Structure 1
Amino acid sequence: MADDRRWGRRSLLRSTAALAGAAATAPLLGGTATAMTGSGDADALFKAGEFERAGRAYEEVLRKDPENLHAARRRGQIGLLGNKFRDAEKYLKTAVRLAPDDKDAHYLLGDCYLRQDEFALSVPHWRAAGEDAYAQWFAAFRGEPYQVHGDIARLPWQQTDPMPLLQASVNGGPPKRFTFYTGATNVSLAASAAKEAGLSPVVSQEVDVEGGKVWAHFGILDSFELGDIELRNVPVGWSSTESGKDVGTTDEGMIGSWVFFHLLTTFDYAGRQLILRRRTPEAARQARAAAARAGAEPLPLWLADQYVHSRGSITGDTGSRAGVVGVNFGGSGGESAAVVFGETAERLGIRSDYDRPIGTFAHSHPAVTYPCYPKEIRLGDVTAEEIYCETHPQATLAPYGFDVRAAFFHSFHKPYHVTLDFTDMNLYIARGKAM
């Protein structure tokens, strides 16, 4: 995992790997985002996840040194983490002006336009970032993507383990079995489901998945029905073998984060349902009111690529660390409530069983984790004590330049419901079923 950025951060394989059932952790940003003279304090704040303070510190650097590429790019990245698109565009455009060949700045600016559904504006930046497949894919769209029809949908889960399973309809066809995972990006289909829906790829590429090769195809879905909500003009991907067969999956599709950040989304684990609402001021007000009634304080919500982050903590026998944590929903997480990264488990004195290695995959690359048992893991006021987790000693602590010492998964969320508000960028978690 020394330098997965070309594979993990910059590849259409992200969706393919998720569809194939590969475990995903946060990908790497890349080596060009190195500290420069005068930005040391800002970098330390950014690394610690103190994003507001880091933003002000980078602005001070830029006041003194307007040509500081690193400060401009980092300040733009901070804006993008919080969906503050005006700030993100301002500083990332500055970074691109300062270094027209800087691939990281172009990638972040492409992502900024992608989140705003400005696909045409994203295309030259994907191309400049070396993402020719993304450029071809998004250039093919006509009209408004992710058109939302309907106000609210409640989708019951047919199962919770080993991963939640629900039903959705593709291009007006019969209901299909879908899982979801916030480590994935777009809607993904099995090759057979894509064929049945009459899909043709805009772009295809051969990729490596868990030691084998498959074809990743990407196109445009006319209609995706999730209960009483329909999305139109939606990016979609599917993977196939050389002969066009399905790639080892037991479901017919997966829903990724790109769908969820277009909606007000509640992962109601306690109620075994997915609740989707149109993003309106009234829906956001109702979500805040419901959270207040349940005693849930708003937690910060940050989005790095498709990965959801918030603020939490992890405690061992000899110490505790609070900061940015990954918060993942869906997927096949097994019974592990969290994955603890790098040397965190050792430094905090978390009991770990190194005699029982677990062979798994991260970004579809072989990885080894070990059972561990923190004294406590915490997300806001919600805690789990002495719960089974895994430690991944070889994982990077700073995949995007800021430390992420743990990521919470499927098993942690089971007693709760969690709402993600991508307008105000708040996360609410409360015990029991959503009302």
Structure 2
Amino acid sequence: MAGCLVLPLARPASASFQDEKPGEAQSGDIPPMNEDKPIPEGCWFKKIHISFGKQTESTEPIRLKGEYEFENTSGADQEITLLTSSCKCQELELFVNGEKQSLEKKLDVQQSLKEPIKVPKGASGTVKLVFDVSGPAGQRTGFIQVNTTDSKMPTFNLTVDAAIDAAFLVEPPLVDLGKMSPVEAKPWSVKVRCMLDGEWELAEKPLDPITPGISIESVAVGTDERGKFYEIKGVYGPNLDEGALGGNLLFKTNREGRNVLVGVRAEVKSKVHLTPGFFSLNRFKRADGCEDTVYIWPNDVANEEIAVDHVEVVESNCKEGGIDYEIVPPTPLDPAKGVVDVEIPRRTEGGIPAHKLWRIRVHVKPGLELEGVARRLSTTIKVHFKGDGMVPKTVRFNGFPY
């Protein structure tokens, strides 16, 4: 979890407490923390803010427990109609006169309790909180909204906070390798420093599983004017999946439950758009043959050029020579006519400039013969491109000759 996101799940109603008083949201939004503020008159709660202070970052869960005690001081029987937290990182339990209450909610915008909880005159109770502050260093804040039938406390927000101090400093905090092609490889490195007192050690290898494509070249210890550090060097790529975004590496340390997370990010994109990646020739007369077309163009059609090199037949159940693959290069740009767009079948985003568009015409020759007793044509081809960093594209097709 990246931290407690302070977003109100239910908008507080107007309260008897005036503006800038503890427990009330300002401008109908996120309430300020109640720390060091007096408890308003008519408030049931003996404590309106819990500060867990500084906690040390850990890769193990950090779940902090606290309690808000209350007493119905209104002089009459009342009900709690809503009890909700600002974040899933807060788990709540409610006890009235020592008995645990059901917090099942209605499926409505306000997230009201399915059954209001009766709080007799003079009854005491406790809201128990488990505050999950697992994740990276930073400030955590949250609130718990309580709605009652007491006119002096129709709605009130209890607040909570904690400060998570970094156990380790990773420089840079996140390795950003930018855009990459699937066959590209980029080196990266980070320095890791311990923010805790005492001697520390870092493992030479990350824990499994390791994100595909990320490799570690070295983990070396060093010192400088700031003290001891470890430098981790690695490489991302090659042989990356298109659409890959990098990954995380977790290194153990000799500090119990406190390990080092190294994030490597990249945007792995193909330079080529190809369509269709699969098509069917459907039923066709064997004596006539048939054909279809594969369209190819650069993803960055405004700034890049591509060139098809050859077509490789990876797998096919037709006898050799039964299908031709014609590579049709782009139509040269005629300055007099300007850019001419070509509409691509089944594509709704508009045409592709003819001077950037390649085609593979798949010609099934008349009299096609299939291997063995096959009745369905099934073929897989790869389209190869010229230039470095170009990944072949796979096309599959079938058909039913008769």
> Does TM-score exceed 0.5, indicating one fold?
no
Shorter-chain-normalised TM-score: which range?
Answer: under 0.3
Whose relative contact order is higher, 1 or 2, with alpha carbons under 8 Å and at least 6 apart?
1
Larger Rg over CA atoms: 2
Q: Calculate the TM-score normalised by the size of structure 2.
A: 0.19
Q: Calculate the TM-score normalised by the size of structure 1.
A: 0.18
Larger fraction in strand: 2
